[in-house]
Chains A and B, each alone.
Chain A
Amino acid sequence: MKFVFTREQENFRQEVKDFVAAEMAAGSFTVDSAGLVARESREFSLKMAERGWIGLTWPRQYFGQGRSYVEKMIMNEELMKYQAPIGYHFLADRQIGPSLINFGTEWQQSFFLSRIVKAEKEAQFCLLFSEPDAGSDLGAVSTAAVEDGDVYVINGQKIWTSEAHMADYGWMLAKTDFDKSVRKHLACSEFIVDMKSPGITIRPIINSAGAHSFNEVFFDDVRIEKKYLVGKKNEGFRQIMAQMDYERAGMERLLQNYSIFDLLKKHVQKMSDEGENGEFYAWVKDQMAQLEIEYAIGRLLCYKNAWIIDQGKKPTTQAALTKAFCTQLEQRLNNVATQILGPISQIRTGTEWSPFPVDLAACYLWGPSYTMQGGSTEILKNIIAQRGLGLPRG
């Protein structure tokens, strides 16, 4: 047990901090909220690439730096606190790289990993998992990938695909065994799809926060070469579950709205016993302390995930628990913030009366998505109960 960082880790944190501060001072980005992973700037990613900060944890033979996940967590903590625009490479770095390292072919590894770590053009990925009839029940995907000589022919539909309209490649789960007697979890495979392929149609879906972040993606006789099959045919489901751990283990689930907490602290700092209704102020203090405590716990949970991965173990249960804890906290944060600020919290940014330079109203509107994407809280609780505590499946 050690609840402190090593000197090297502290130095690394400082290095990232300095970098972020310099970038902010140079105006390369401003603090925003709610759209962390969507905020992208290839320029910013290139600067990170230069420092070896993309693929930080990947082994050296895979174009990475071979550093620990704890270090990566430190880096992400400092980047995410200020909403640095890391969206260009973030997803590929978080889960495409590790998946390719685990399951990819040599060609896939050398082609994609080298491009991702350099933040090259055409190295942005989206995730083509969910379908209209396969959400939580991901194994039920019906988008078909049928072998035809040297290619797979894809037909079907994906939905909720974040950033499909920006991405160069899609990481797709599709059905590859159509024998009804085969269990559905043993009937799908993973593919990389060039999003510019003929036969792909992308349609925007406007979410309830008024933003275009996810899409519908249609596949109409899309032909992809067999070298784009990742890992083993019909083992896609198992492979994807390993990938989900990376998707759930990180700080982004805790810090997407950290700037709101920061601003809220500044707001509360201006309050006083004289200026406020005593009962209200007492309530505010209690809520702020509660949030501070939950942030502290969320942070420890995230670092423990990193530590588990560094031990060479699977963080499945821990990552599920972390994501469930942190995303519920983020929802509460935005709720408490609106309650502390009162009616003016509804005013979106862009007027002189907006309470914060960051769009709190938007953050509140995004709330429902936190506990849904990347596995709903209910699905995560199923994992904790069944995988973690060994309770029998229903």
Chain B
Amino acid sequence: MEFGFTSEQEMLRKSFAEFLNKECPADLVREMIEDEIGFSPSLWKKMAELEWLGLTYDDRYGGMESSFLDLFILFEQIGKVLLPSPLFTSAVMSGLLINDAGDDNLKDSLLPRIIQGKKILTLALLDEQGRLDADEATIEAVQSQGNQFLVNGTRLLVPYAHVADEIIVCAGVKGHGTGGSTLLRIDGKSEGLQTTFLNTLTGEKTFAVRFDDVRVPAGNVIGDVGRGHLHLRGILPKATVLKCGEMLGGLERVVEMSVDYVKERHQFGRPLGSLQAVQHHCADMATYLESTRLIAYQAAYLLSEGLPCETEVAMAKAWASEAYRKTTWIGQQIQGGIGFTEEWDMHLFYKHAKASELAFGSSWFHRAHVFKNMGLS
């Protein structure tokens, strides 16, 4: 058991933090909510140049061959500044899927461009009820003549669909031969593909995507026909834990911000932070932070080392979801009226906490998973 960073990890953490603090102030986050693209292309380019998009990938594709734990450390810092960027959906989710399930041709042609930030991919996973329906995908891909699929259906909450060069769906393949859940790459400019901006509580760039007889070449299958859900399941633990990293970073920032505020703000002739009700709120926040840090880093470490950790991953997401949300509630409370303004940063995290809680399975979902692994049913 060791709870400190190695000096390399510490250096890495510092360099992530320094860059992001400088390049991604809260003003940029706000600006990007109004912005049409929703992220800064110049910042995206810089991150690609720093090779952050290829952190865990093979050298062969231009990757850095860093550990998953390093990537987790990056995501912690990303969460701390709430960096708006397609990094997660493109370079992590889509990239990992291709890396794990794709054939060599696909990897050789696509991964370098994802890593260089030249191509943006996104994943369209949720059905119209917001469910991850990969096991029995309601989006339909009918194999037609001419070696292509006809894709029909709707996906919700697809990040950055408006700028995506390709959208990956997990579709239910029908028609002759083998069928079932299958991953398909769909050109973002395809005829019959329609994206509609969804105004959500975070204001991030997320979309409804409709597929109306969209023609997709048969060669666009990632991995095996009928095994899309399995390919997807393979990357979900990593995606979930990186989400936890992002949440941990956000949580950290909320604690910093709130504690700073109550040290400065005076009422009754004394700093708010000298009042015990406020101090105990802060102690609770610190406890949520420390507990989340330990349980999330544990999952990240075990994943990184390739050790079995299904339960630990579920524990991390179940706990982080609750802890982050509760901490933002406390943060809102002790920052008073100013905390409830657009101008103050607090709300950005309040929103992020809710959106993250709802992503990749709520805490109830993950607790059910923990229970299943307790061997009591």
Contacts and interface: CB of A to CB of B under 8 A. Distances in A.
A293 B370 contact: yes
A280 interface: no
Chief secondary structure at chain B's binding surface: helix
Most chain-B Cβ atoms within 10 A of its Cβ — which of A289, A380, A389, A390? Answer: A289
A288 B376 contact: yes
A384 B285 CA distance: 10
Nearest to B72: A1
B279 A382 contact: yes
A378 interface: yes
A365 to B, nearest CB: 26
B299 to A, nearest CB: 9
Contacts of A304: 1, 3, 294
Contacts of A171: none
A290 interface: yes
B278 to A, nearest CB: 8
B284 to A, nearest CB: 7
B193 to A, nearest CB: 40
Interface string B23-41: 0000000000000000000
A350 interface: no
B301 A1 contact: yes
A391 B282 contact: yes
Chief secondary structure at chain A's binding surface: helix
A389 B298 contact: no
B11 interface: no
Given A3-B297, A288-B371, A289-B318, A321 B287 contact: yes
B374 A300 contact: no
A297 B295 contact: yes
Interface in A274-332: 285-286, 288-290, 292-293, 296-297, 300-301, 303-304, 306-308, 311, 318, 321, 324-325
Contacts of B294: 297, 300-301, 304
Contacts of B284: 381
Contacts of B278: 391
B64 interface: no
Contacts of A385: 273, 279-280, 282-283, 286
A393 interface: yes
Interface string A1-24: 111110001000000000000000
Contact of A301 (B273, B282, B286, B290): B290
Interface residues of A, number: 46
A286 B298 contact: no
B330 to A, nearest CB: 13
Contact of A1 (B3, B280, B307): B3
Given A289-B370, A293-B367, A300-B298, A392 B274 contact: yes
Contacts of A265: 374, 376
A207 interface: no
Nearest to B6: A1
A140 interface: no
B287 A300 contact: no
Interface in B258-282: 259, 262-263, 270-271, 273-276, 278-280, 282
Contact of A381 (B9, B263, B280, B318): B280
A132 interface: no
A306 B1 CA distance: 9
B319 interface: yes
A126 B276 CA distance: 32
Contacts of A311: 4
A269 interface: yes
A188 interface: no
B295 A1 contact: no
Given A324-B287, A391-B263, A286 B364 contact: yes
Most chain-B Cβ atoms within 10 A of its Cβ — which of A1, A300, A301, A321? Answer: A1
Contacts of A288: 371, 374, 376
B370 A325 contact: no
Given A285-B371, A325-B287, A391-B274, A296 B280 contact: no
A388 interface: yes
Most chain-B Cβ atoms within 10 A of its Cβ — which of A292, A321, A390? Answer: A292
Given A289-B318, A293-B315, A321-B290, A1 B371 contact: no
Nearest to A296: B315
A22 B256 CA distance: 50
A264 to B, nearest CB: 10
B376 A269 contact: yes
A297 B291 contact: yes
Interface in B8-51: 9
A290 B366 CA distance: 10
Contact of A307 (B3, B5, B6, B315): B3
Contacts of A4: 1, 305, 307
A289 B279 contact: no
B302 interface: yes
B370 A292 contact: yes
A108 B273 CA distance: 43
Interface string B195-208: 00000000000000
A102 interface: no
B1 A325 contact: no
Most chain-A Cβ atoms within 10 A of its Cβ — which of B1, B271, B297? Answer: B1
B342 interface: no
A386 to B, nearest CB: 7
Nearest to B69: A1
A306 B376 CA distance: 31
A286 B376 CA distance: 12
Given A321-B290, A324-B287, A392 B367 contact: no
Q: Which 8 A-B pairs have the closest CB atoms?
A: A385-B279, A289-B367, A381-B283, A384-B283, A289-B370, A300-B294, A391-B273, A2-B2
16 contacts: A265-B374, A285-B377, A286-B364, A289-B374, A292-B374, A300-B298, A301-B291, A324-B287, A325-B287, A380-B283, A388-B286, A390-B259, A391-B259, A391-B279, A392-B271, A394-B274
Interface of A: 1-5, 9, 70, 265, 268-269, 272, 285-286, 288-290, 292-293, 296-297, 300-301, 303-304, 306-308, 311, 318, 321, 324-325, 378, 380-382, 384-386, 388-394
Interface of B: 1-6, 9, 69, 259, 262-263, 270-271, 273-276, 278-280, 282-284, 286-287, 290-291, 294-295, 297-298, 301-302, 305, 307, 312, 315, 318-319, 364, 367-371, 374-377
Given A265-B376, A289-B371, 6 more contacts: A285-B368, A297-B291, A307-B2, A321-B290, A382-B283, A391-B278
